[in-house]
Structure formats: C-alpha cells, structure tokens
Amino acid sequence: MSKQVKRSDSAADDDLSKGEIFDVLQNERRRYTLQYLREHDGPVQLGDLVSHVAAQEYDCPNTAVTSAQRKRVYTTLQQSHLPRMDETGIINYDDENGTISKTAHTEELTVYLEIVPGSEFPWREYYLSLGAVSLAIVTILWVGVYPFTAIPPLVWATLIAVVLSVSAGYHTYAGREMTLTEYVAQEAESDD
C-alpha cells in the first residue's frame, strides 16, 4: 500500500506559484485529470479517472482501452502525478479509498484549460500547408508550367513572403499571452 502524501493546511491556503502551475499543466495526464475533475461533481474514483485518461491518451472510447494501457496510466497517476498534485494542493487524493476530489486550486487551473481550448486553430498544420503550397509553386515555376509562368517569379516570391508575414503577424497577435488576471477581468466585463 502506498503512503498518502499530505500537505500542510497552510500549503493548501497558499496561492500556487507559476512554477507549480506550469509543472502541472505541462503534463498531458495531469491536464486530462483536471479536465475530468472539471466535468464531474464530487469525488471521482481512481479507476474511472484512469479509464478516462487512457481513453484520451490513446484516442479511443473507454470501452476500447486495453488492460496494458490502463496499467501504464494507473501506475504513473497513482505513483507520481496524483501524489504530486495532492502535495501542492491542486487536488485532494485519498489513495486509501482511491478517490480524487477538487480543491479551490483545481478550479483555478481549469481556467487555464479554458484559455487554450483543445479546438485552437491548428497553426502547425497551417504553416506546413503554406510551405507545401509555396514549394509546389516554386517547382511549377522551375519546370515552366503555363499559366504560372505568366507571372514573374519575383511577384510569386513577394506574394509568398507577404502571405507568410501576414500569417505570422496574425498568429503572434492572436496568440499573445493572456494572464489569469486579464482573463478574469474580461469574464467580469462580459457578465455585466
């Protein structure tokens, strides 16, 4: 039986540092844990959480998760992730009963999950597509396929550079860092 890590009451009342927040959010299994807790009221069972995390990680329904996949997820959650999250006060983890419950810090971190939703625009795919189209245009110009050769290569190069620069500029503007304080202020304004 593993030993439950308990934080002090004063640690539970302290605000989380940026390091603790980034430490939790950098790991996919921890993010899946927070998402699962956000979707459920009250304590959740470790077995249910493991099934959910494994299904998310392996991109399959809960019923299709294999016992080997469950075991890999269970081991790291039970031995590493959940005790660490409990120690910092992000969750309450009772390993004797196999239950996980929310804390005030859980709700604080779920705000970060809302700021960067999973449905965010796929910039990597966009830039890959832009590069592929640009390479195709250069190849067509090199081979000399009409009607592409009717436009001078310098105009094509300028067009590609402008599209890339505008895309990168928009991506930079749209992806600027939003702090929790700014997010809360925006939410308060939209509620008025």
For each of the domains in the chain, give its residue range(s) and CATH number, in order of start.
9-115 (1.10.10), 123-191 (no CATH)
CB 25 within 8 A of CB 31: yes
Tokens 């832009």 found at: 130
Question: Of 103-112, 114-123, 130-139, 148-157, where does mean pLDDT reach its minimum?
Answer: 114-123
Res 14 pLDDT > 70: no
Tokens of 111: 């705000």
Question: What pLDDT score does 177 carry?
Answer: 54
Cβ 82 vs Cβ 106: under 8 Å: no
- Phi and psi at 103, nearest 5°, equal -130, 180
Q: What is the pLDDT of residue 163?
A: 93
3-state secondary structure 52-97: HHHHHHCCCCHHHCCHHHHHHHHHHHHHHHHHHHHHCCCEEEECCC
Q: What average pLDDT score do residues 43-65 get?
A: 91
Give mean pLDDT, residues 68-80.
92
Nearest C-alpha neighbor of 71 from the set 96, 45, 53: 53
